Structure 1
Amino acid sequence: MYRITKEFHFSASHQLTHLPEDHQCARMHGHNYVVVVELARRELNADGFVRDYHELKPLKTYIDDEFDHRHLNNVLNVVSTAENLARHFFDWCAARWPETASVKVSETHKTWAEYRP
């Protein structure tokens, strides 16, 4: 299996209002998010790629236009956890690129959430 990854970045705020009032994530706060999309294929395409990295530019545009410097509670239809973001970006990518294998989202340099079907 051949695999490629590409990393994207954005900054946004969110608030997990369903958590107890004394939980730090119940307060509005922000992160510098990192999104890593992984694509995989058993065979390379005619150009010798899993997919040309340049073809992933629509994800950058989508993130920049819809997520960067936004309040995620107003953007997503689900609780704005890293896990739900990973699933959201996976679904968005898989609808465009069938080779999408997983999406990872980081809120801090020590934490990652991943969605992989």
Structure 2
Amino acid sequence: MTFRITKEFHFSASHQLASLPSDHQCARLHGHNYIVEVELSADQLNEYGFVRDYQDLSLLKQYIDEAFDHRHLNDVLAHDRVTAECLAKHFFDWCKARLPEASAVRVSETAKTWAEYRP
């Protein structure tokens, strides 16, 4: 049996997918109210009955608030492939380096769309 927990974080930012054809709406500068959902998994609970204390995820909130919120993502990540898929991978790698229980990250740009990175 695997235990899973998730926590959601929000930020607003702009980006531009300049590699798309110029008539594509996402080639123009635009922004989103992003939702980042991190999932942590464990086969066994820790001594307190947690996969991980939710409070430990405050590191991710701080990172998002300082580096991503109200920023231009092409500048933050220094490339033009700033898609929800690439953001999910970026946040997963960041989390996995600090939280070994990280098992997936999902990123939403709109209420109806999600991209997920799960190794």
Q: Into which bin does the TM-score normalised by the smaller protein fall? A: over 0.9
Q: Partner amino acid for 2:52?
A: R
Q: Partner amino acid for 2:48?
A: D
CA RMSD of aligned residues (A): 0.6
Residue deviations 1:17-55 (CA, integer Å, cap 9, x gap): 000000000000000000000000000000100000000
Q: 2:54 and 2:100 mapped to 1: Cα distance?
A: 14
Q: 2:42 and 2:74 mapped to 1: Cα distance?
A: 35
Q: TM-score scaled to structure 2, two decimals? A: 0.97
Runs of 4+ in 1 over 3 A off after TM superposition: none
Residue deviations 1:44-82 (CA, integer Å, cap 9, x gap): 000100000000000000000000000000001341000
1:110 maps to 2:85:
no
Matches within 5 A, 1:34-113: 34-78=35-79, 79-113=81-115
Aligned residues: 117
Q: Find the residue that maps to 1:7 and give its secondary structure.
A: strand
Q: Find the residue that maps to 2:36 and give its secondary structure.
A: strand
Identity over aligned pairs, percent: 70
Q: Partner amino acid for 1:110?
A: K
Q: 2:78 and 2:89 mapped to 1: Cα distance?
A: 12
